[in-house]
């Protein structure tokens, strides 16, 4: 059975993270099989246990210029994590058509919602200084990314 593009992106991230950080533990939260793709209740795809903090990372892949905020169904659960000092919730967003990957703090999505935005257009990414463009190079279908910046968060 062939994985969809989003699942393949998650596996690709997992492989790169474990190669780049062999001494840090990355925990994959298994998707719940309910028969309804909108019913998953996992807070994120991964928890990355770094030396000073834990990252909650939700991987998203999107074709086109504009990522709809409604596609981040984990938003409410990720916002709840902000109350914990050592947990940092992020979205790893791959704009497929642009060969760009961004590491976005959940607080940026909160800001977008407060501004009345319904989506995040790639041309406005630079308006949000907390968004990190992940250094990446295209290799065939996917991107080879350097996640060294995670140690500096």
DSSP-assigned states of every residue in 51-67: SS-EEEEEEEEE-SSEE
Q: Which two tokens stand for residue 62?
A: 């999107």
Give me the domain span that covers residue 13: 5-152
What is the domain-level CATH number for residue 107?
3.40.1350.10
**Mean pLDDT, the chain, whole residue set:** 90
Per-residue pLDDT, 139: 83
Per-residue pLDDT, 38: 53
Per-residue pLDDT, 152: 82
Per-residue pLDDT, 80: 96
Q: What is the pLDDT of residues 49-90, one digit of tens each?
A: 999 999 999 999 999 999 999 999 999 999 999 999 999 999
Over 90: is that where the pLDDT of 48 sits? Answer: yes
Q: Mention every residue, 6+ apart, whose C-beta is less than 8 A from residue 49.
A: 24, 25, 26, 27
Domain count, the chain: 1
Nearest CA to 136 out of 105, 104, 93, 99 is that of: 99
Over 60: is that where the pLDDT of 2 sits? Answer: no
Per-residue pLDDT, 90: 98
Residue 39: which pLDDT band, with cuts at 50, 70 and 90?
low
Q: Mention every residue, 6+ apart, whose C-beta is less than 8 A from residue 89.
A: 43, 44, 55, 56, 58, 78, 79, 81, 82, 105, 106
Per-residue pLDDT, 65: 96
Per-residue pLDDT, 123: 96
Q: Which two tokens stand for residue 138?
A: 């295209």
């Amino acid at each position: 059975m062939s994985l969809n593009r989003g699942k393949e992106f998650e596996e690709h991230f997992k492989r790169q993270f474990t190669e780049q950080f062999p001494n840090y533990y990355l925990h994959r939260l298994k998707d719940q099989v309910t028969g309804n793709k909108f019913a998953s209740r996992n807070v994120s795809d991964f928890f990355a246990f770094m030396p000073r903090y834990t990252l909650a990372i939700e991987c998203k892949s999107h074709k086109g210029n504009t990522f709809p905020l409604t596609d981040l169904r984990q938003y409410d659960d990720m916002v709840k994590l902000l109350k914990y000092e050592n947990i940092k919730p992020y979205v790893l967003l791959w704009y497929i058509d642009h060969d760009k990957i961004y590491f976005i703090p959940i607080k940026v999505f909160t800001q977008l919602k407060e501004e009345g935005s319904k989506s995040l257009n790639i041309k406005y990414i630079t308006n949000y200084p907390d968004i990190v463009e992940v250094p990446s190079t295209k290799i065939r279908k996917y991107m080879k990314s350097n996640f060294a910046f995670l140690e500096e968060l």
